[in-house]
Structure formats: structure tokens, C-alpha cells
A and B are shown apart, each in its own frame.
Chain A
Amino acid sequence: MDWSKENELLVIPLLLGCFAVWWLMPSAKKRPRIVGVLAGLAACIMIQGMLLPQAGDYIRSVLFFVFAAAAVISAGLMITDRNPVYSALWFALVTLSVCGLFLLNAAPFLSAATIIVYAGAIIVTFLFVIMLAQQAGTATSYDQQPIQPLMATVVGFILLGVLLFTLQEWGAIDGTSTNEHAEPRQFIAVPAEIQPNPLSQAPHDNPHEIGSLRVLGRSLFGDYLFAVEIAGTVLLIATIGAIAIAPRRAQGTL
């Protein structure tokens, strides 16, 4: 009983959210969508207290809520939309919102790279594939309805719950979490004398340079030079493999 009381802040929104996503899933019989929407909103409002960023900066809090709400709502719509093309577009919106959160946490390169890779490349590929697969234009049922909506929702929320619970236990979320025994050193740094990946560190004379292009380039083509080269090899194999798998013109199509 103690456990459930301690964690009701976490458990009740999760159950509500799970119900909301399951209710909004496309299904054969029509359900009033408003029930799911209300449950989902209630879940978001209940859990936002836990995720609140450090109090203080007003603008920062507003931006956080705008991006976070956009990400969560678009993610819900991406899962529950009946049309796969719309789902792909909602996914683009999720990516953009998450990139906003990255920017708020002072990770401009990560944010830009995510936009280029996801919104620029992956979602365009998704759209190509969806449109090529639906050439006939007939509304087939296989991509209109989920096969196992209940199982998928429950498993997804169990994963989410375990992750949130772990992060709460870790005690780094904020002061209002129920963790009484937060320790000051929740992170552990590598001992200073070891210095792994020395080229990725900021130079001693200018420690503020850590996010700069210069350090990024030195890290990418210094410490991670071999990883970049091997990634290039993987791409070469994938490209040539795609050509080798594609049927030749003389052999007709697949």
C-alpha cells in the first residue's frame, strides 16, 4: 500500500494515458473521441508537476511547456491517426518539438543534426515508401487498423512507466519527486587522470569552447575517426547492396 501511495503521482497518469491511447486507437467500431482526449489531457496535466524544470527562468519554463506539449500531443496523434501519411507528418512534428527541447538544453548541434536526419531524410523516405506502397489507392485494412491495439498500448506504457520510475528513483528529476534519499553525486565522472577521448574535451585555455564547431570537428575526426570510417564502409555496403538487390531491367520487376 505504501508503494502505491508513494507513486500515485506516477501510476495514475500512466493508467489514464494508457487508457487514452487505447481509446483513441483506430478500431472497427466508432468511439467518441472526446473521452480519450479528455483522459489524455488529464494524464498530461497530472504528470506535468513531476517534469517541471527547475523553477526560475520564466521564458524557459514557457518554452519548455510549449515544446513538451507539442511533442506529447503530436506523438499521441501519430500513433492514433488512421492515415499513415498523416502519421508520418505528425512524426515530423514530434521530431521538431524534441529538437526544440534539445535547443533549450544547450545542444544546438544535436538539434540541427536531428532535424536534418529525421525531418529531412527519414520522414521523406517514409512518405515515399507509403506512397509507393499505396499506389493502387485502395484503402486496404492492413495499415488502417492496428492488429493488437491493447497489447501494444499496455506494453508501451509499461516501458514508459519503468523508465519514469527509474528516473524518479535516480532523483534527478526535481525536488518535488518522492525520492527522500537523493544523493548529491548521482552522476559519476571518469577519474581525471584517465582522460578518455582527449580530443573531444574543450581546450584548457578556453573551456567555453566545448560546443563549438572546432571541438566538434576535432572530436569527429580525432577520437571518432575510425568509427566515422567504418560507418562510411557500412554505407558503401548498403548502397552497393541496394543496387545488387534491385532487379535488372532485362529481368523485369520484382
Chain B
Amino acid sequence: MNAAIQQLNNAFSLIAPEAVLLAAVCLIFFAAPFLVNERGEAPVGLRHRWGCLSLLALLLASCVWWQSPPVTRTLGPFVLDELTWYIRGLTLTFGAILVLLHWNQADDARSAESHACLLAILAGVNLIAASNDLVGLFVALELVSIPTYLFLLLPRRDAPAQEATLKYFLLSIFSSAIVLFGMSYLYGATGTTNLSGIHAAFSAASDHRANPLVAVATVMLIAGLGFRLTAVPFHFYAPDVFQGAPTSAAAMLSFVPKIAGFVALLRLMVPATGAEQAMNPWTMTPAAIPLLWWLAVATMFVGNLMALMQTDIRRLLAYSSVSHAGYMMVGLIVGMAHEHQKADVLATVSPNSVSGIGAMLFYLAVYGAMTLGTFAVLIAAARTDKRIESFDDLSGLSRTRPAMALLLAIFLFSLAGLPPTAGFLGKLNLFFAAWSQGTVEGQESYKWLAVILAINAALGAWYYLKIIGVMFLREPINRSQQDTVIETPSLIAAGLCLVGTLGLFFLPGWLWVPIQSIMP
């Protein structure tokens, strides 16, 4: 009893960075109404102050994050292991970039609430990574999705934004219900909501026949979380929402829900201690792997083939984010299959081979840098009267704004997976992880997965190169120098993403070393 209370008292120190972020959210919510008058007008330039405050909160949270290293896992409500630590670093870094992207997207009067929502979303992702309980995991997932609805609608109130928000809202609620259904079956099969307890129960039952309840839970959880990953067939909202939502919200949607979904899947399906889970029919892995295999193949093909047909740059990026979710799912599947192997089978694989989950986590960071960079250039290259929508808006960009065109070209090269960018390294890691798992006897299907990944990388290169062709080979249409705006925050964000995209190619060990400590 006393030990339990002690554990609860200690739990707060495990989520200190999130507490900082949520305190900042409360502060902004409380202070904002006093600075806006009754007609809804705010002093000019107020948004800069809210942006600075958000950055300050993220900086403070980062300091706390840096000073709270991973600790041993307990049965308490939160865990702070290497995975939590890594994901926290990822969200805080890319959170700062998202704040910069969002800087001028909302008007002065609504900037406060939308920045607060962004901080709440980031805190929610961190809490998903830290949660050790089904209830806490679900509440953290809601802490991501409910502020997202506001974040989509607050900056702009026109009809497309309303339609996008409503579509996202309805489908997101539906997916939350499915996740909850799956969690209830998981609770029914094991009798506890504690994730460590659930995995302990699984390993205690390893000599029993597989339980259909766990299989139902697995299918439901993958279906519900697949919505956040934009896995096919749960992707169909993505193009409409990306097209209608403000650019910064589209950037957020292309990246943050993917971290949330992948981390939630990792927490639910991959136990912290791998050894006793090997060949256990009671875990979620036997049901999850075939399902995820087909979902990943469908996601890669549908994302890339649909992207080939798009003429709207946002819809194209939406389908591109779908296909990248497919690439990352390959890493997840390979990692889960690896965890499920017996040790003597694993000994036949060369010890230097890349771990699937590590490759996925590496690709997640790389994908964040390159996709947020693309959106940053789209914001920075917009004109005063019109944001960038179709390919025509980009045509001849190399003549009118050569630096922008070069930046965008680098990010697109990285998305296509061409050297010398980090996207190349990320795809190579995923390919090698899948291929080396495929060399294990009886696991040849992973070789096919690697081949399909390679085919899709080639398909993807086609449409990214098409955009580059439009920028560099076509004549500019009605573009003059006068109506461009200087978007300093987005330019800074694009610069940071550029550092990430190129830097991770030349110094990948900088990210790879912390990742390797996550999966032994």
C-alpha cells in the first residue's frame, strides 16, 4: 500500500516536461482573453508574443527533458524508458519547428488559443510515449485529437477549413471509439489495464492456446490507430483535410499523429522485455503481423499511385504522407517479427543487421525533418494574396525565388530517397532491416516486403521529381517579385529542417546511438 503511494508520488517526476507544457497551455488560455477586446480585435503583432511564449515553454520543457534521463521501469502509471526519452526529444524539437511554421498562420486575435492547442498536442504525444496504462494511453490519445480539431479550425474560418475540420472530427471520433473497443477486449482477456501487467499476463500464458479475444483486440487497435497513421484503408480523409486546412495544420497532421500512432502501437504490442515473448501465441503479434503486412503493402501502393495522379500540391503531399506511413510500417512489422523469434533462430541472423524498430524510429525523425521542411517552404514561398495550391503556383520558382526552389528541391530529393540526403539513409535502413529478417528461414515474406518497398521508393521518386521539373524547367506564370512576403519564422524553420535533412546523412550516428539503446 505504502509502496503504491510512493510510486504515485514518484510518477509526477516522470512526466515533468509534459507538466511544463500543460502549465503553459493553462497560462495562455487564461491570459489570452484579457488581451482581446469585446469585438474580437487584438493589438497588431500580438501573435509574435504568443509565438515567443510557446517557444519559451518548449525550451523550458526541453531543459527538463534533458535533465531527466531514463529510469528503470516500474508498475506505476508512467514509464520513462529510452523510447519515452527519444520520442520526447523528437516532439519537442519538431514542436519548435511547428511553432515557427504556425507563427503567421493565425491572426492576432486567435493566435493564443491555436498556439496553446499545439502545445497540448505535443504534451499528448509525449504522454502517449510515457503511458503504462490503457486508460492513461487512451486519455493521452484524446489529448492529441481534441486540440487537433481546434488547431484545424481556429486559424482560418472559411468553408474549406470547416469542411476539413468536420471530416477530421467525425472520423477521429469514430477511430477513438474503435481503439476503446479494442482496449476493452484486451482488459477482458487479462483483467488489468496496466500495460506491464498485460505483458506479464501474456508471458505467463505462453503455453496456452491463442486467445481469440486478444486477436479481436489487436484488429480493433490496429484499425483505430491506423487512422492516425493514415494507413490504407483509413487514409481517405487525408487529401481533403490537407487541402482544406491551413498549411501549418497540414504540416502538423502529416507528422504528429504518425508519431502518436506508431508509439501507441509500440507501447501496446512490443513489450519492454523481449525474451519471454518469443513464439508466445498469446501476444498480439501473431494476429498483428499478417494484418500489418497487408496494410503496409496497400498503404505504400495506394499512397504512391494516387499521388502520381494529383495536380494539387497539398493533395500530393497528403498521399505522399500516406506512402511514408507505409514505409515506416515495414519497420514496425519487421521489428515485431524479430521480437517474436526464438533466440537460436535469431543467432542465424548476422548481429550487425539493422533492427526494424530502430529503422522505423530513425525514419520517423528523418521524415519529420523533410516533410516539415517542405511545408515550411510552401509557407515561405506563398504570395500575399494566394497560398501555393496547384503545380502552376510553383512553376518557374527557380527564376523568381531561386533559394526557395533549391530548398524545396533538397527536401523533395530527401522525400524521394536520393543521396546525399537523410531520406536515402532512412529508406536504406528500412530495406536492410526487412531484407535481413527475410533471410531467416521461414520468413521469406519479409524479403518481398523489402522488394515492394524498393519498388515504391522508385514510384515515389517520379512525382517528387515532377515537382522539381515544374520548378526548374517551366516558365514562371504571373509571378513578380513585389507580391512576395518575407516569412522569417518559416525560413528559420526551413533552415533547421535543412540542417536535419543533410546533417543526418553525414552524421547519422548522432541519432542512431540513442535509438540503439531503445531496443536491445
Contacts and interface: CB of A to CB of B under 8 A. Distances in A.
Interface of A: 162-163, 166-167, 169-170, 183, 185-191, 194-199, 222-227, 230-231, 233-234, 236-238, 240-241, 244-245, 248, 250-251
B127 A188 contact: no
Contact of B213 (A166, A234, A237, A251): A166
A197 B147 CA distance: 29
A250 B39 contact: yes
A84 B427 CA distance: 51
B142 A234 contact: yes
B38 A190 contact: no
Interface stretch (B51-59, B82-90, B131-139): B131-139
Contacts of A163: 216
A101 B150 CA distance: 38
Contact of B190 (A188, A241, A251): A188
Nearest to A162: B216
B263 interface: no
B4 interface: yes
Nearest to A231: B139
15 contacts: A167-B212, A183-B209, A188-B205, A188-B208, A190-B192, A196-B197, A226-B77, A227-B133, A230-B127, A230-B139, A230-B140, A236-B26, A238-B146, A241-B146, A244-B154
Contacts of A224: 77, 133, 135-136
B4 A188 contact: no
A188 B113 CA distance: 46
Contacts of B209: 183
A166 B116 CA distance: 44
Given A188-B211, A189-B190, 14 more contacts: A188-B201, A190-B194, A190-B197, A191-B200, A191-B204, A196-B194, A227-B133, A227-B136, A240-B113, A241-B154, A245-B150, A248-B40, A250-B38, A251-B39
A198 B1 contact: yes
A222 B1 CA distance: 10
Nearest to B36: A248
The binding surface of chain B is classed by DSSP as: helix
A197 B1 contact: no
Nearest to B147: A237
B193 interface: yes
B125 interface: no
B194 A187 contact: no
B201 A190 contact: yes
Contact of A170 (B8, B22, B211): B211
Interface string B19-41: 00010011001000000001110
Contacts of A196: 75, 192-194, 196-197, 200
B: contact size bracket: 35 or more
Given A191-B201, A197-B197, A241 B113 contact: yes
A185 B197 CA distance: 18
A195 B127 CA distance: 23
Given A198-B4, A227-B133, A241 B194 contact: no
Given A163-B216, A222-B4, A248-B38, A194 B146 contact: no
B364 interface: no
A201 to B, nearest CB: 10
Going nearest first, the 9 A-B pairs with the smallest beta carbon separation are: A196-B197, A196-B194, A188-B205, A241-B150, A250-B39, A198-B4, A166-B212, A248-B40, A244-B113
A189 B191 contact: yes
Contact of A245 (B135, B153, B192): B153
A233 B22 contact: yes
Nearest to B3: A198
A188 B11 CA distance: 28
Contacts of B213: 166, 170
Nearest to B132: A196
A187 B191 contact: yes
A226 B22 CA distance: 13
B11 A241 contact: no
A179 to B, nearest CB: 11
A191 to B, nearest CB: 5
B154 A226 contact: no
A244 B146 contact: no
Nearest to B127: A230
- By CB atoms of chain B within 10 A, which of A185, A231, A234 has the most? A234
A187 B189 contact: yes
B146 A190 contact: no
Contacts of A244: 110, 113, 150, 154
B234 interface: no
B117 interface: yes
A251 B26 CA distance: 26
Interface in B191-225: 191-194, 196-198, 200-202, 204-205, 208-209, 211-213, 215-216
Contacts of A190: 190-192, 194, 197-198, 200-201, 204
A226 B11 contact: yes
B413 interface: no
B117 A234 contact: no
A4 B136 CA distance: 42
- By CB atoms of chain B within 10 A, which of A187, A224, A241 has the most? A241
Contacts of A187: 189, 191
Contact of B78 (A167, A185, A226): A226
B271 to A, nearest CB: 13
Contacts of B359: none
Given A169-B212, A227-B139, A237 B25 contact: yes
A26 B24 CA distance: 51
Contact of B211 (A186, A227, A238): A186
Given A199-B4, A222-B4, A248-B40, A230 B143 contact: yes
B505 interface: no
A248 to B, nearest CB: 4
A237 B150 contact: yes
A251 B1 contact: no
Contacts of B39: 248, 250-251
- By CB atoms of chain B within 10 A, which of A185, A187, A196, A250 has the most? A196
Interface in B244-300: 282
A167 B189 CA distance: 12
B124 to A, nearest CB: 8
Given A166-B216, A197-B197, A223 B150 contact: no
A183 B379 CA distance: 61
A104 B330 CA distance: 46
B120 A233 contact: yes
Nearest to A170: B212
B149 interface: yes
Interface string B49-71: 00000000000000000000000
